[in-house]
Structure 1
Amino acid sequence: MQRLAIITIGKTHSGKTTFAQALEKQLTNSFVMDQDNQAEFINTYYKKLQPNQGPNTLKHALSKQIVYYAKEHTDLHIIICNSNRSRKDREYLLEELFQKNDFYRILVHLDIPDEVLLKRVTESKRGTNIFRGAATTFEEVLKRQQASKSASPPIDGEADRLFVIKNSAEMEAVIKEIVLIAESL
């Protein structure tokens, strides 16, 4: 049986976690790997080990280990729930971790308008124990993401399938299509 690797793409508060959790409920034999969980765990128990600047190597190493374990010891579909906004990061996931021979790779781009995201971050009740470094609010994270030069939207052909969600109302239809893809493999 070929497994799915579903990779979410989007800015903060675009609905990546909401989408991933809803998909996990409907996609039999799947799990969500959300790097925010690793960040919160590290910040709660291992903050002194956290790098102060540059790539968050500890969080990435922990996430990578979870993915390797799932690949080697389970037959679960894997839902990767983090921003994945740079093409380079997606290429690593698609070419190194989720190779075409082993996985049917799906990108889900939550391309929500910035004015909607700004409203969401200003009203957010979400905990900030996932932050490290200079960012202390989701508004700061959003501003940094809006200014980022490394972000690039996914394109057709980058993976086996690309879905683009422009508003929350489209999530359910995309989830149903992904479930159908899984059933057809």
Structure 2
Amino acid sequence: MNKKYVFMCVGYTHTGKTTFAKKLVKKYPNMIQLDSDEVAVFTKEKYPLLVESSYNKNRPDFRSLKMVIFKDVYNFCLNAGFNIILSNCNLAKNFRSFVSYKARKQGYKLVTIYFNLPEEVILRRLKETRKSDKVFIQSKKWSEVFERQKKYAQLPPSKRNTIYFEIKGSTDDEIVINELSRLL
């Protein structure tokens, strides 16, 4: 029986998580990439009244419409038996615990990839970004997203019960992808 993996990218906005995930999916097309930003765009386009409602905006952590849908899709992927890469931020410890618990319960191995780039690199990327702002629900600019993330992020992620990699610069991507090839 082949081993099944959940690859969890962890890091602030604009650290290269989505780019990394796309490279991995290109190399291993039988892998599912899940990103909460894509779910946010979907919910804003299909259910704008719900997304903008005070009910949705005042929901406790991880109970917003976006996260309810995201968690259901994640569970569906686990049940289907695919390798999964989560390319959203995964900054909160309780969300990482949820991901880990569900993965282990379904017989998956967890791989954590921590995108630990220097703040000056992130700030430069924020200034140069062409990334869509359709994802925004609370913020108006990517710099606001980053400032908000710094307030609630619980970093670095734990190295317990996971295969752990750390990316400190763009040259580390290929090194980590080559290491992951040994697993897949």
How many residues are paired up? Answer: 177
Between the aligned partners of 2:100 and 2:33, the Cα distance in structure 1 is 17
Change in 2 beyond 3 A, CA 1:32/1:171: same
- Show CA shifts across 1:44-72 (max 9, x none): 12111112234452111111121122122
Between the aligned partners of 1:117 and 1:150, the Cα distance in structure 2 is 15
1:117 corresponds to 2:122: yes
CA contact (8 A) 1:39 1:59 kept: yes
TM normalised by structure 2 equals 0.90
Task: Give the structure 2 partner of residue 15 of structure 1.
Answer: 16
CA contact (8 A) 1:26 1:179 kept: no
Residue identity matched to 1:172: E
CA contact (8 A) 1:27 1:179 kept: no
In the alignment, structure 2 segments of 5+ residues that lack a partner are: none
Dislocated runs of 4+, deviation >6 Å: none
Identity %: 27
CA contact (8 A) 1:23 1:175 kept: yes
TM normalised by structure 1 equals 0.89
1:145 corresponds to 2:149: yes
Task: Give the structure 2 partner of residue 79 of structure 1.
Answer: 85
**Which of 174, 179, 182 is matched with 1:180 structurally?**
182
In the alignment, structure 1 segments of 5+ residues that lack a partner are: none
Between the aligned partners of 2:79 and 2:10, the Cα distance in structure 1 is 25
CA-based RMSD:
1.6
